[in-house]
Amino acid sequence: MYITAQEIFPKGPCLLVRCSKLKGTTEVAVDWFGRRPYPVQPDDGHILLLDTVIASGDTLLRICDELFDTNGGVVKQVTVLSCYVSPNGLEVVSKHPIVKEIITGFVANGYDENGLLVPYPGDIGDKLYGSAKAV
């Protein structure tokens, strides 16, 4: 998604941020690759967040909080683009004050105790190696 986003949105800078939950906890770890905090361009303030799977929404909320806090409240709008999302994740993320739009390809029934969507559509590796079918 990151490489494609750079081609689709060549006007602005594209940064890679990796989020994950620390194993066995609900604590979210954020790894910023490149600049941090992300400097919003003058007269802009629109940020596109790409996330392949949104289960609980915790990781996206953490990124939105950091973007808002590190830019002194200058972020005007965040659009979230995701391949798969749970109804709960959709609801939670949509309530963040800087999230103005969420675009997704598939809404699952929910997610299980491991944070996997139900039904689990599989990731790109699953599809490439035949352990999941495209939805």
Average pLDDT over residues 8-26: 72
Q: Is the pLDDT of residue 20 over 70?
A: yes
The pLDDT assigned to 93 comes to 93
Distance CA 133, CA 95 (A): 32
Distance CA 135, CA 120 (A): 9
Give the chain's domains with CATH numbers. 2-128 (3.40.50.2020)
Average pLDDT of the chain to the nearest whole number: 76
- Give the mean pLDDT of 2-14: 67
Give pTM, 2 decimals.
Answer: 0.73
